[in-house]
Amino acid sequence: MNYSLFITGSPTASRACHTALDFAEALLSDGAHQIHGVFFYEEAVAIANALAMPPRDECNIRNEWVAFAKQHSVPLYICIAAALRRGELNEAEAKRHEVANHNLAEGFLLEGLGSLISLTSESDRMMRFK
C-alpha cells in the first residue's frame, strides 16, 4: 500500500513529528508498504529551520527525519507559504526576496500545496499528524 504523511504539529510543542517518524519507520519495516513523501505544513515547517538547535540531551528530530529520508528515498516537502511566513528560506527564495542568508536545512524541499495534492492523489492513504 502507498502512503503519504501530512504533518502539521510543531516539532517542539507537540509530538506530531516524532509520532509520524515512528509510524513511518514501522510502516516500512516489513517491506510491504511505500511512502511517497512527507509534507510538513503550518507549525511543522519549523522542523526545517537549520538554525534551530535542540539541547544536546534531546532528540534532534530534524536529523532523524533527514536520515530516514535518505535511507528510504522519501522526499521531505516543506510548505513554501508556511515556511516564508516563519522566516525559513532556501537559497533561491533568499535571492528572490533579496535576503542575504538562507536557513532551510539540507534534505528538505520547499514546495507549494500542489505537491500535497499530488501526494494525496498518488497514495492509497494519507496520514495526518497534528
The confidence score (pLDDT) of residue 35 equals: 98
* 79 assigned to active site: yes
Helical (H) or strand (E) element with 111: strand 108-111
What distance in Å separates the CA atoms of residue 35 and residue 23, rounded to the nearest whole number? 11
Q: Which of 79, 80, 82, 105 is catalytic?
A: 79
pTM: 0.96
Tens-digit pLDDT profile for residues 65-124 = 999 999 999 999 999 999 999 999 999 999 999 999 999 999 999 999 999 999 999 999
State the pLDDT confidence band at 39, using cuts at 50, 70 and 90.
very high
Domains of the chain: 2-129 (3.40.1260.10)
